[in-house]
Amino acid sequence: KAGVTQTPRYLIKTRGQQVTLSCSPISGHRSVSWYQQTPGQGLQFLFEYFSETQRNKGNFPGRFSGRQFSNSRSEMNVSTLELGDSALYLCASHRGPGDNYGYTFGSGTRLTVV
Amino acid sequence: GENVEQHPSTLSVQEGDSAVIKCTYSDSASNYFPWYKQELGKGPQLIIDIRSNVGEKKDQRIAVTLNKTAKHFSLHITETQPEDSAVYFCAANPKYSGAGSYQLTFGKGTKLSVIP
């Protein structure tokens, strides 16, 4: 079966711009979580969506937002980009409450802010 | 909140030797401990996991042990091969509930290099 699909794979943006990243979870998975990965901070939790509702949010500024659609696909948006937002953004798919198994990650979107 | 410490940050072993990576966690409520392998240019891939009611789990050349009393768990890779070279992450799940959210707290990663 198809894995978690993230688009685009690479993105270069200028400071002050905004960006939207997309994630399609594994078929049947209704929960999508987003993580930011940087060399210094490792994997940091951004937010989790289930049934189009944000269930949990990490410690990131309000410039980071997301949403989930009825087909479970999710997008995350970063507004007013800063140099420090350069990172690998990973989407993780999960069946949802009641399923205590690990995530399946996508390959990520590499965002570079210049 | 949960805090996961992972050691070492880098590890080099000769092909055929064993590799051990250790993690400690802080939240005694954590009950699920997965390990992920991340190769260059790819997302993390789940390689093995263990639940709090089990002390050890094996899958071919990899094994994980859990000591709930001491709040630490370890990944063991035997007969290492060059393709085992990657970054390995441990994680703990302190926030799962039947109706609540699901979140993993990750260690900072261990870069394993297997020297042929």
Provide CB contacts within 8 A for B19, sequence distance 6+. Answer: B11, B13, B76, B77, B80, B84, B112, B114
Residue A89 has pLDDT above 50, yes or no: yes
Q: What is the identity of the amino acid at B109? A: G
Q: What is the pLDDT of residues A6-49, one digit of tens each?
A: 999 999 999 999 999 999 999 988 999 999 999 888 899 999 99
A2, A104 in Cβ contact below 8 A? no
The tokens describing B74, both together, are 């370890």
Judged by CB atoms closer than 8 Å, whether chains meet at B102 and A43 is answered as no
B52, B75, B102, B103, best to mutate vs chain A, most A CBs in 10 Å: B102
Provide CB contacts within 8 A for A15, sequence distance 6+. Answer: A81, A82, A83, A113, A114
Q: What is the pLDDT of residues B49-101, one digit of tens each?
A: 998 888 999 999 999 999 999 999 999 999 999 999 999 999 998 655 444 56
Q: Is B17 helix (H, G, I), strand (E, B) or coil?
A: coil
Q: For chains A and B, what is the number of CB pairs under 8 angstroms?
A: 63
Taking any CB pair shorter than 8 Å as contact, residues of chain B touching chain A are 32, 34, 36, 41-46, 49, 51, 89, 91, 93, 95-109
Rounded to an integer, what is the distance from CA B51 to the centroid of its chain? 12
d(Cα B111, Cα B94) in Å, to the nearest integer? 25
What does pLDDT average to over chain A? 93
Q: Which backbone phi and psi does A83 adopt, to 5 degrees?
A: -55, -35
Contacts of B107 in chain A (CB under 8 A): 42
